[in-house]
Amino acid sequence: MRTPIIAGNWKMNMTIAEGVALVEALTGALQGVTGAEAVVCPPFTLLKPIADALAGGGIKLGAQDMCWEAKGAYTGQISATMLKDVCCTYVILGHSERRGRFGSIPADWDDDLLLAFGDNDTVVNRKVKAALAAGLIPIMCCGETLDERERGITDEVVASQIRAGLNDLSATQVAGMVIAYEPVWAIGTGKVCDPTEGNRVIGIIRATVRALLGDAAADAVRIQYGGSATPDNIAEIMAQPEIDGALVGGASLKPAFAVMVKTAAG
Longest dimension (CA), the chain: 49
Residues 6+ apart with CB under 8 A from 159: 204, 205, 208
Q: Does 148 participate in catalysis according to the annotation?
A: no
The alpha carbons of the chain give a radius of gyration, in whole angstroms, of 17
Q: Does 236 participate in catalysis according to the annotation?
A: no
Residue of 24, 69, 182, 242 with catalytic role: 182
**b/e burial code for range 212-248 (CB count within 10 A of at least 16 → b):** bbeeebbeebbbbbbbbbbbebbebbbebebbbbbbb
- Rounded CA gap, 27 and 205, in Å? 32
φ and ψ at residue 179, rounded to 5 degrees? -115, 140
Residue of 95, 97, 144, 148 with catalytic role: 95
Q: Catalytic residue numbers?
A: 95, 182
